[in-house]
Each structure stands twice: as structure tokens, then as C-alpha cells.
Amino acid sequence: MRAAAALTILFLVLPLAGAAAKDLEHGRQLAARWCAACHAIGDEPTRFRRAQPFVAIAAKESVTREMLVKFLLLPHATMANNPLSTADADDLAGYILSLKK
């Protein structure tokens, strides 16, 4: 009985893990397209950019996914006005937070 329950959970969770990885990859692609001109977007050594590296943003204790999504959806004078949907902003926020060490 426990084995059947474990298998059921496994089959329910595995597709979600694949979807999460796909969302992170989509977030990485968005970062490369929209953010890389100003931010260091990955684990590469930080070189001077106009804005904080994503690794530094992710490391802040106060930063949450919800906060990042809301921030990304608002227009900002210092950021390009990129047409992000809520799903895009969520994927991008997830990618940024995945860089937390």
C-alpha cells in the first residue's frame, strides 16, 4: 500500500519538476533577451554593469518571488519597458531566485 502511494506521488511530482525546469529556462531566456544589457544574469563573474547582478538580487533576504513579479510588471524609468506577461514575470522571478546560493 505504501509503495503504491509513493509511486502515485512520484508520478504526480515528476511532471511538475519538468515544468519548473522549463519555466526556469524560459526565465533565463527572458533575462538574456531583456536584462543582460544592464544586469549580470547568471553565475558569470560580475563585471561592471549599470544594475545589480541577479545573483546579488537573489541573495537579499527581503526579496521574494511575489515582490519580484510585481516589480517586473511595473514601469520603471531605469528599466526598459519590456512587454512582460504575468507568466513571463513569474518565470523571470523564478530564474533570478534560482541563483540564490
Where do the domains of the chain lie, and which CATH numbers do they carry?
Answer: 2-98 (1.10.760)
* φ, ψ dihedrals at 31, nearest 5°: -60, -45
What pLDDT does residue 82 have? 76
pLDDT tens-digit profile of 7-40? 344 344 444 444 455 799 999 999 999 888 888 9
Q: Give me Rg for the CA atoms of the chain.
A: 16
Q: What is the largest CA-CA distance in the chain?
A: 58
pLDDT > 90 fraction of the chain, expressed in percent and rounded? 48
Residue 98 pLDDT greater than 80, yes or no? yes
